Amino acid sequence: MFDVSEVTISGESLDGKIQSSSNGNPRLIFDLYNATEMTVQTQMLSLQSDSQSKSWVTQDVIAEHSSLDVDTNFELTSSGSPVILYNHDGLKIRTYSGYTGVESEIITTAGDIEHISSVTGLSGESYIAYYSPGTNKLYFSELTETGWSEQTVTIDANISSPFSLMVNNSGNPVIIYLDDVNKELNVATFELSWSVTNITTSGLVNSPSFSSLIDFNDNIVISAMIDDGISNNLSEITINGSIIESTFIAIESDVATNLSLVTDDDNGLILSCLTSSGSLIVYEKANNSEIWNSILLPQPQQVGIANTIQAIGGDVPIIAVNSELDTIYAKISGNWQVIGDSIGSEMEDFTIMSADNQIFVLSREIETNSIIWSSMEFTQGKNVDEIWHKSKIKDILADDGFDTSIGNGKISFFSKSSSNNFISNIEFFIDSDNDHIFDSIDELNNTPNQWSDQDGDGYGDNIHAPISDDCPTQSGTSSILILGCFDADGDGYDDLTDDCNTGFGHSWLGRYGCTDFDQDGWVDWNSLYPFGDIFSSNWKQAFDSDGDSYGDNHGPDCCDTWYDDDAPPGDEFPFDSKQYTDYDGDGYGDNSSDFIGGDACKYDYGTSFIDRLGCQDSDGDGASDPSNLWNESMGADLWPNDSTQWIDSDGDGYGDNSSDGATNPDYFPNNMAAVNDSDGDGYPDNFTQFYDGSNAQGLQIDGCPLVAGNSTNPFYGCLDSDGDNYRDIYTFDINPTTGLRENQTGDAFPFDPNQWFDTDGDGFGDFQGGESADICPNAPGVINGTLGIGCPIIDGNDDDGDFVINEIDLCPETQFGLIVDLNGCATNQLDSDSDGVTDDIDLCPDTDALDLAYEDGCSQVQREVDTDTDGVYDYLDLCPNTPNDEIPDLDGCSLSQKDSDNDGITDDIDVCPNTPENYPVLADGCTDETAKEIDWDDDGYFGDEDEFMFD
């Protein structure tokens, strides 16, 4: 299930990338463009979640800058720590280490705690001091093995300003505080018990701010402002046992000036002062010197109300003030310089620490009293790559004060909230891999999500994290594929994976852990393993798949190496033993004797592939352009500038390519008698001028040239939905005498492949081999007819059974089974021309009434008529319209008028004149073999197994 949240980003995103850690929390990185300032800034957006809530946190990766040439990418470790690669003034990489906090509560006797001060002992002990204004008691607490142990330092302290907790060179705690009533500094020391000593000075300490330290000689050194009655003197107070010395530094009239005193790595003193008006003054005194020197520094800009200042000593002294700009100063290589700006409004109340070029600031957010953790890496000067990274410590408030100390590999944080009667303590331990298991207890502190290594081989026990140990209970050195298991030969492969575990080797292709002399990954060939690298001294080659002695690899840098500086060229055709080079780079080999893959034009780039390979093909149709050595008669392109045509097999002027969009396509490329086929059904629209009457090769003109079809009766190429060769369009005439249909064409049953004609129009097909065949095809009937399907129902009112009732039957004694007209008369009962010869035997049914007719019903005049001039008189002519150019038989019929095998194809074009009756045929009169796949008679057999397809 997806969670939807909205986050506002401060600018136009030029680029954005997202990654997710193993726990599912995403991070996004944006390069943001500020159109107003015309600057670019890179930010990282992280989803932080706990059991209560989720929130998005924004961190700057690169501060705003004017260069638009920036590109950023990143990945996350399994613990979610980002590794950022970005390009800004060069390619740079940024990684993050973190601290993991352990929280506890310090129970105190008093509930009204103020002014917390803390320090880390010489051996890592944790000490804290705090003041109760309600009882005037000053307390000290020490972390022991059993927990925090509280002691009362003094019961009559009058403290209204911060005090200082330190440890001397013997490791004993020392507290310096200002008695606000007496305006005197006091020193509380601990030997076996606490004792408090007043520090006698030449005047009152009217300023609440002082700063103290213990120098390398174990002297207590305090900087404070002493009022001698004449002026307010900034002074150095040194306490050596019972000896107290005071040294004048400068006059400071601003009693609200805040002070911070530290030592550098040469044991010199550095005193930083920030006046209430925001002026920064720094004084330095070298070791063994008595002179304080004032140092000129760039002044901080827009100092806050509290004029807070904190300093850190050591090899790189650092000063921090609560200003908007020029906030962090560092003394690098003897010179002070500004290295950073403010972290925000929370700089009003803060503490600062430093370690390994990292600055840590813990500050109180004024509006909420929450604690903000901020850190920054620094080198020299301000740098857009060195910016603050901030995070809020949840559920910790510090309105009654807080303090931090650093030492022994940890940062100790203490805070008091008015809503609690205890002090909150968080010990922050360095956690290099950010897996929340800090380094001091993390056995693999540089591997995210690994912390336990029970066998001590450097591979972790957590199987769901990187470099997990495949053999967690046995120490092993295997480092490839299988980690932390036995590796007898020390090549990185464990003994079970290693195919050659008695010999060192780094091969990983073919076999693992065997010899690989050229270090290309492939195991070397030898007699025991004939499938290895046959070019074992050349890392650019390994195999010769086609056995032509040229290695399979090829390319512009193939194939010389430092060890094989005279290697043959690589094989550009690694699976063709007849080819290995391609001079013109067209994909066809230079060996022209190879008729399968050889380049016919090996020095000229070409793409032809139809008539010859690798020659110029201007129109890109596969056929090469004609030339003096290769013309059209040899197969060159007849139309070299037309990509749709290239050859004309039948020489009719139309190209063989009949695909859509082709120029002058020939749908019958091997028959010059035909070209066009508008509907694409295989029947030509018409014959060309090259048709001579005998060269059609069995083609028939399309009776429906605009509708694709496969019919053959009565026309070719019309729609035949049921595939019985009869077109779907059905026409007929009605015999006015019998009422039956005659001159039927097409298919009366366009969706029934077993029926096509219906002479009596009763809906039952005439073909007796088909389904629901009409038993009485010449008499309209019903499905339950008296004699069967399609027959009429006979009742007692039809004496002669001709299906005409007695009352209207003019021929009541018609022979059963004969076809009758509407009056019930058969042709043997009629004499239409009244010539004395009944119609059934009358060869001349229209004899004039005045003419004498012979026994065949013809007069002498009629016997001498030959209408079609075929030499057979009309009364004997069975085919009265014989074409003049055709030779008739004795019955007056030519081949184009006969269909001897009754297959629907006239004898003049019937290539198979003896086709069995009713068999489906093709346009040439031969059996349609595909029709054998139909079980026409529903007897369960079809094809060659059914010798009687329609019975």
What value does the mean pLDDT of the chain take? 89
Q: What is the pLDDT of residue 938?
A: 65
Residue 1 pLDDT > 60: no
280-285 and 269-274 beta bridge pairing: antiparallel
Amino acid identity, position 395: D
Query: pLDDT tens-digit profile of 324-363?
Result: 999 999 999 899 999 988 887 667 789 999 988 889 999 9
Three-class SS string for 730-774?
A: CEEEECCCCCCEEEEECCCCCCCCCCCCCCCCCCCCCCCCCCCCC
Task: Please indicate, yes or no, if residue 893 is contained in any of the structural domains.
Answer: no
Q: How far is CA 436 from CA 46, 449, 766, in A?
A: 17, 8, 93
Task: Please indicate, yes or no, if residue 273 is contained in any of the structural domains.
Answer: no
First-last CA distance in the chain: 68
In whole angstroms, what is the distance from residue 894 CA to residue 908 CA?
8
Cis? peptide before 615, omega within 30° of 0 = no
In whole angstroms, what is the distance from residue 503 CA to residue 851 CA?
125
Q: What is the pLDDT of residue 120?
A: 95
- Among 98, 113, 100, smallest CA distance to 403 is for 113
Task: Please indicate, yes or no, if residue 27 is contained in any of the structural domains.
Answer: yes
Residue 456 sits at φ, ψ, to 5 deg, of 70, 25
Task: Please indicate, yes or no, if residue 255 is contained in any of the structural domains.
Answer: no
**pTM passes above 0.85:** no
DSSP string computed for 577-617? TT----TT-SSSBS-TT-TTTB-TTTTS-----SSSSS---
Residue 774 pLDDT > 70: yes
In whole angstroms, what is the distance from residue 612 CA to residue 608 CA?
6
Task: Please indicate, yes or no, if residue 68 is contained in any of the structural domains.
Answer: yes
DSSP string computed for 452-486? --TT-SS-BS-TTSTTB-SSTTS----EESEESS-
Residue 406 pLDDT > 60: yes
Q: What is the pLDDT of residue 308?
A: 93
In whole angstroms, what is the distance from residue 221 CA to residue 381 CA?
31
| 759 token code pair | 């002479």
Q: What is the pLDDT of residue 2?
A: 65
Task: Please indicate, yes or no, if residue 69 is contained in any of the structural domains.
Answer: yes
User: 770 with 764: CB under 8 angstroms?
Assistant: no
Which three-class secondary structure state does DSSP give residue 337? Answer: strand
Q: How far is CA 13 from CA 32, 34, 45, 349, in A?
A: 5, 9, 13, 35
Residue 901 pLDDT > 80: yes
Binned at pLDDT 50, 70 and 90, residue 919 comes out as: confident
Q: Which residues of 879-889 are buried (b: 16+ CB within 10 A; e: fewer)?
A: beebeeeeebe
Element (H, E) at 861: helix 860-863
DSSP string computed for 857-891? S--HHHHT--TT-SSS-TTT-SSTT--TTS---TT
Residue 822 pLDDT > 80: no
Which three-class secondary structure state does DSSP give residue 895? Answer: helix
User: 352 with 331: CB under 8 angstroms?
Assistant: no
In whole angstroms, what is the distance from residue 329 CA to residue 944 CA?
104
**What is the CB-side half-sphere exposure of residue 470 using CA atoms within 13 A?**
17
Q: How far is CA 118 from CA 125, 399, 596, in A?
A: 11, 17, 89
Q: What is the pLDDT of residue 378?
A: 84
Binned at pLDDT 50, 70 and 90, residue 884 comes out as: confident
Task: Please indicate, yes or no, if residue 24 is contained in any of the structural domains.
Answer: yes
Query: pLDDT tens-digit profile of 468-510?
Result: 999 999 999 999 999 999 999 999 999 999 999 889 999 999 9
Q: What is the pLDDT of residue 386?
A: 74
Q: What is the pLDDT of residue 384?
A: 63
Mean pLDDT of 787-806: 80
Highest mean pLDDT (candidates 97-101, 391-395, 817-821, 930-934): 97-101
Query: pLDDT tens-digit profile of 831-881?
Result: 888 888 888 888 888 888 777 888 888 888 778 788 888 888 888 888 988
Q: What is the pLDDT of residue 92?
A: 84
DSSP annotation of 927:
B
Q: What is the pLDDT of residue 126?
A: 94
Query: pLDDT tens-digit profile of 150-199?
Result: 999 999 999 999 999 999 999 999 999 999 999 999 999 998 899 999 99
User: 623 with 636: CB under 8 angstroms?
Assistant: yes
In whole angstroms, what is the distance from residue 608 CA to residue 586 CA?
10
**What is the CB-side half-sphere exposure of residue 404 using CA atoms within 13 A?**
24
Q: Which residues of 532-567 are buried (b: 16+ CB within 10 A; e: fewer)?
A: bbbbbebbbbbbbebeeebbbbbeeebbebeebeeb
In whole angstroms, what is the distance from residue 668 CA to residue 686 CA?
12
Binned at pLDDT 50, 70 and 90, residue 51 comes out as: low
In whole angstroms, what is the distance from residue 195 CA to residue 197 CA?
7
Cis? peptide before 714, omega within 30° of 0 = yes
Q: What is the pLDDT of residue 753?
A: 94
- Among 424, 426, 401, smallest CA distance to 133 is for 401
In whole angstroms, what is the distance from residue 323 CA to residue 339 CA?
13
Q: What is the pLDDT of residue 427?
A: 93
Element (H, E) at 863: helix 860-863
How many CB atoms neighbour CB 704 within 10 A?
Answer: 21
| 406 token code pair | 């650093």
Residue 679 pLDDT > 70: yes
In whole angstroms, what is the distance from residue 792 CA to residue 359 CA?
113
Query: pLDDT tens-digit profile of 228-249?
Result: 889 999 999 999 988 999 999 9
- Among 340, 290, 333, 293, smallest CA distance to 319 is for 340
Longest CA–CA separation in the chain, Å: 178
* Domain of residue 45, residue span: 12-96
Give how far the C-alpha of residue 118 lies from the chain's centroid of Cα atoms, to the nearest Å.
54
- Among 554, 604, 600, 605, smallest CA distance to 575 is for 554
Count of domains observed in the chain = 1
Task: Please indicate, yes or no, if residue 446 is contained in any of the structural domains.
Answer: no
Burial class (CB in 10 A: 0-12, 13-18, 19+), 584: middle
Q: How far is CA 904 from CA 234, 686, 696, 899, in A?
A: 131, 22, 19, 7
User: 514 with 503: CB under 8 angstroms?
Assistant: yes
Which three-class secondary structure state does DSSP give residue 321? Answer: strand
In the beta sheet, which residues pair with residue 359?
A: 354, 376
**Side-by-side strand order, sheet with 309-312:** 309-312, 318-321, 328-332, 335-340
Mean pLDDT of 429-434: 91
Q: What is the pLDDT of residue 716?
A: 94
| 193 token code pair | 């018990």
